[in-house]
Amino acid sequence: MIGAMNILIADDHALFRDGMSLLLQALGQVHVAEARNRREIEAHLKHQDLFDLLLLDLDMPGITNADGVKRICESAPQTAVVVISGNDAGYVVKACLDAGAMGFISKSSAGKVMLAAIQMVLAGERYVPSIYFDNSSEYSSDAASTASSISPRQQQIWQMLIDGKSNKEIAIALGLTDSTVKQHVSALFRKLGVNSRTQAIQKARTNS
């Protein structure tokens, strides 16, 4: 990881915040802040450029459903939001992703799975738990139906992903910020019904 990453952990249980904070140290240089409720989240996000990632509990004071997730995502568009919840039912996962989250991690996941998911999101990719694809075709079918709505800019970025370009290389080539590229990649993945660069490339080959 290049440089220190700023991560906000939002959960009303101190034990979970402490455990997640310790887990995140495995990523290297990480600055961690904590919030116990929506009010504290919003206070932190007033300086929205400060945080690279927000790990958001789905069931905490002021945040009880995907509508709360959407409000948080809209209030800090430069911050990647990953929902962490004990409820990983398919409809819950889909609602959170549709609300703008860059990922969804089940609280029952092993630590190494959580770290891998977080690293994927920090790299600008979207993380969807594999169990969701195993148990439901709803997300992929919905995404496939909207593939035709991919914008020219997203088509351009898709081609650059196929060419092996990193988010930073894409940003430099197109004159965009890293965060803008991340948002385009997230939207592209959602429309394609994929959750990784590899899957996006495979999708291109399938459609060619």
**Based on the domain organization, do 48 and 121 belong to the same domain?**
yes
Contacts of 155 (CB under 8 A, 6+ apart): none
**Based on the domain organization, do 64 and 149 belong to the same domain?**
no
Q: Answer with the residue of higher pLDDT: 137 or 23.
A: 23
Number of domains forming the structure of the chain: 2
pLDDT digits (tens, 9 = 90+) for 66-83: 999 999 999 888 899 999
Q: What is the token pair recorded at 47?
A: 């300086």
pTM: 0.65
**Short-list 148, 141, 151, 143, CA closest to 183:** 151
**Based on the domain organization, do 104 and 120 belong to the same domain?**
yes
Q: Which residues pair with 60 in a beta bridge?
A: 63
For all residues of the chain together, what is the average pLDDT?
Answer: 84
**Based on the domain organization, do 150 and 126 belong to the same domain?**
no
The range of the structural domain enclosing residue 171 comes to 142-207
Identity at 130, one-letter amino acid code? S
Say what the pLDDT of residue 183 is.
82
Q: What is the token pair recorded at 111?
A: 């630590």
Mean pLDDT check: name the lowest of 12-16, 146-150, 162-166, 176-180: 146-150
Say what the pLDDT of residue 144 is.
44
Q: What is the CATH number of the domain that holds 150?
A: 1.10.10.10
Q: Are 193 and 183 in contact (CB under 8 A)?
A: no
Contacts of 160 (CB under 8 A, 6+ apart): 169, 170, 173
Query: Of 78, 103, 135, which residue sits at a domain end?
Result: 135
**Based on the domain organization, do 177 and 129 belong to the same domain?**
no
Query: Of 117, 135, 153, which residue sits at a domain end?
Result: 135
**Based on the domain organization, do 27 and 112 belong to the same domain?**
yes
**Based on the domain organization, do 114 and 150 belong to the same domain?**
no
